[in-house]
Structure 1
Amino acid sequence: MPIRKLLLAAALAAAVVSGSAGAQALSKPGEFYFDADAQTTKPVIAIRETGDAAMERLAKIIERKAHAPTEAAQLAHLAMEGGRVELGRQLYGRALREIDSGSTYWRAIMWNYAWDLYHLGAHEEAFKYWATLHGARNVSAAWMPPTYAVALWSLGRKDEAVEWYAAAVRSEPDLWRDSSRYAELLPAWRDSDRATLAQVRQAWAENPPRWP
């Protein structure tokens, strides 16, 4: 079956993620964020193929398999990267419906979906998913301060962004006090993401908030 039809079949099997995100509240940052939480920040990879071959194989799996959250999430990411935004949203919706929120894959899917939305310019919606992750577990993950700093800055919530950046500096001052190690610390981020974080760092350096 051609890839176009396979992708359409996958889309028809999924429901659209409903509702738009309103202004999402987030608690004040804590003092320190040391937890690696590596299972959240990993890419969702069900198969090792890439490009069109991966999309076609994933679409076949999803068409035949009633429960395929990781395959749906991987295909969703590829679809959104390729400009098939609505299909990507539908597939992410299917993946999240098919997996329990206690699963490590649920967290990884939420994390990856948020970044895909962020890179589309859907910053408010992306932040909703990151904030959901924040509230889902009692963990002080190292990814939270820089990620929330970038997300909040992009939403125009600059004071909050600086507060979260300050949490990164409190936790690992040698890593975050300047921007020289961003490429090493954030290898999966785009240059534009790191540039936004550098703007937050500059604002923090000019007026670092006091703790607590």
Structure 2
Amino acid sequence: YQEFNYAIQVAPPNSAALRHAHWGFGWGALRAGDYPRAVGEWLLAQQGYDGHPSWVPWSMAIALWAKGDHDLALQYWEAAVRSDANRWASTRGLDREMADWQPEERNIAQELHAEWKRRLSNRN
């Protein structure tokens, strides 16, 4: 984490560099299995935006699911689907998005997606 901490330390306040450092730190933490840290870094990265960055719902959903916060993860996943159904609602779209992901990240997203679909079918 040393490099991420350094990048955060030297980035100007409220800058794109600071947002990117927190975003990258979040992915590094996720890949290291430090899911609470991933959530925290992504919350910090999100604060620097005026609007709603498109990466927030699906990224947070994956980290929250891995962390065990399944209900909140599903709420974020639902937001991801609402914002871009072509990417997140279908298995085909999800597979396309995950082509370059690490196996653990794919497994997390597939579990989350399967549970989202199961709950969706129970609503109908």
Q: Same fold by TM-score, threshold 0.5 exceeded? A: yes
| Equivalent in the alignment of 2:54 | 142
Is the Cα–Cα contact under 8 Å of residues 92 and 113 in structure 1 kept in the other structure?
Answer: yes
| Equivalent in the alignment of 2:29 | 117
Is the Cα–Cα contact under 8 Å of residues 19 and 44 in structure 2 kept in the other structure?
Answer: no
Larger radius of gyration between Structure 1 and Structure 2: 1
CA distance in 1 between counterparts of 2:99 and 2:50 reads: 26
- 1:111-145, CA deviations, whole angstroms, 9 ceiling, x for partnerless residues? 11111111111111121100112233232121111
CA distance in 2 between counterparts of 1:126 and 1:148 reads: 8
TM-score under structure 2 normalisation? 0.85
1:192 to 104, 112, 118: 104
CA distance in 2 between counterparts of 1:192 and 1:91 reads: 23
Greater helix fraction, Structure 1 or Structure 2:
2
| Structure 2 letter corresponding to 1:130 | W
Aligned CA distance change for structure 1 residues 184 and 101 (closer, same or farther; 3 Å) = farther
1:114-193 superposed matches below 5 A: 114-193=26-105
Are positions 1:97 and 2:9 aligned together?
yes
1 or 2 for the larger relative contact order (CA 8 Å, sep ≥6)? 1
Is the Cα–Cα contact under 8 Å of residues 23 and 42 in structure 2 kept in the other structure?
Answer: yes
TM-score under structure 1 normalisation? 0.52
Aligned CA distance change for structure 1 residues 119 and 127 (closer, same or farther; 3 Å) = same
CA distance in 1 between counterparts of 2:40 and 2:11 reads: 19
Give aligned pairs, total. 122
Structure 1 stretches of at least 4 aligned residues deviating more than 6 Å after TM superposition: none
